[in-house]
C-alpha cells in the first residue's frame, strides 16, 4: 500500500501523529459495516474507537474486525446503502491483516517493515551463506504478509521467486504459482545471481 497516497493524522497532547488508512469490515451483530481503519505511527488504531495494537489484534481474531464474511450476510456503508453478500470472497486472512497493519505502523514510525527486514536478511545471508542465516531469512520472508510477498522485490516479471528459492535452499520444497516444487541447484544459483547482480547494480548507482 502506498502510504503517501493514504495519509491522515490525529492530534494527541498537542502533537500531530501521522497515520494512514485502509478499508475494513466491522461486524456489529449480524451486519458488516464497511469503514475506514485508521492506523497511526504510535501504534494506535481507530476502528470505531481508538485502541492499541494488542486490542486491535483481539478484535481481528474474534471476528469483530472481519476478514471472512458468510454468504447472505448483510452489509452496510453508513449513509450510502445496504446489501446482502452473494458468494463473498476474501483476499486477506486475519493474520495477514494484522501483519499489514504492523507494517504500516513501522513505516509511519520510520522503522524497517517486514519487507525491509527480509531484504536485510538477504544481505546477511549473501555475506555469510550458512544454514543458520538461511533459517533467519526464511523466518523473515514468512513474516511478510502473504498477499504482499509478491511485491517484496518490486519485480513484475519474477515476483518473489528469487526470495522463495533462496529462503528454501537446494533440495528443499517451496511453493510457486500454486505448485509445490523442489529447489534445484540451477534454480538456487539463478536466485543467488539475481541478488548479487541486484546488489552490484545498487552499488554502481550509489
> What pLDDT shows up at residue 72?
95
Contact call for residues 101 and 113 (beta carbons, < 8 A) = no
Neighbour count for residue 177 (Cβ, 10 Å): 7
Segment 33-46 shows an average pLDDT of 97
* pLDDT surpasses 80 at 205: no
Cell of 59: 478484535
Name the DSSP letter for residue 112: -
CA dist., res. 176 & res. 182, Å (int): 10
Does residue 157 register a pLDDT over 70?
yes
* 50-52 and 7-12 beta bridge pairing: unpaired
DSSP 129-151: --HHHHHHHHHHHHHS-GGGGGG
The pTM of this model reads 0.87
Residue written as grid cell 504492523: 102
pLDDT per residue over 15-29, tens digit each?
999 999 999 999 999
- Mutual angle of helices 161-168 and 185-205, in 10-degree steps: 120
Residues 65 and 24: beta-carbon distance below 8 Å:
yes
Does residue 5 register a pLDDT over 80? Answer: no
Q: Where are the domains of the chain?
A: 3-94, 114-201
Q: What pLDDT, in 10s, does the model give residues 83-94?
A: 999 999 999 999
Give the pLDDT confidence of 52-111 residue by residue, as tens digits: 999 999 999 999 999 999 999 999 998 899 999 999 999 999 999 999 999 999 999 999
Amino acid at each position: 500500500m502506498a502510504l503517501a497516497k493514504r495519509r491522515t493524522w490525529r492530534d494527541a497532547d498537542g502533537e500531530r501523529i501521522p497515520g494512514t488508512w485502509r478499508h475494513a469490515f466491522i461486524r456489529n451483530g449480524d451486519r458488516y459495516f464497511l469503514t475506514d481503519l485508521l492506523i497511526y505511527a504510535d501504534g494506535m488504531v481507530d476502528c470505531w474507537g481508538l485502541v492499541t495494537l494488542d486490542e486491535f489484534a483481539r478484535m481481528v481474531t474474534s471476528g469483530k474486525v472481519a476478514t471472512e464474511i458468510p454468504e447472505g450476510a448483510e452489509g452496510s456503508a453508513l449513509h450510502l446503502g445496504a446489501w446482502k453478500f452473494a458468494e463473498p470472497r476474501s483476499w486477506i486472512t486475519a493474520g495477514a491483516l494484522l501483519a499489514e497493519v504492523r507494517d504500516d505502523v513501522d513505516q509511519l514510525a520510520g522503522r524497517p517493515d517486514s519487507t525491509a527486514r527480509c531484504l536485510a536478511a538477504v544481505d546477511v545471508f549473501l555475506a555469510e551463506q550458512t544454514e543458520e542465516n538461511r533459517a533467519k531469512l526464511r523466518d523473515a520472508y514468512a513474516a511478510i504478509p502473504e498477499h504482499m510477498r509478491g511485491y517484496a522485490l518490486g519485480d513484475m516479471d519474477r515476483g518473489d521467486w528469487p526470495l522463495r528459492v533462496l529462503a528454501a535452499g537446494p533440495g528443499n520444497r517451496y511453493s510457486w504459482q500454486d505448485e509445490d516444487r523442489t529447489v534445484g541447484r540451477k534454480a538456487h544459483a539463478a536466485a543467488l545471481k539475481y541478488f548479487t547482480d541486484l546488489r552490484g547494480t545498487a552499488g554502481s548507482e550509489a
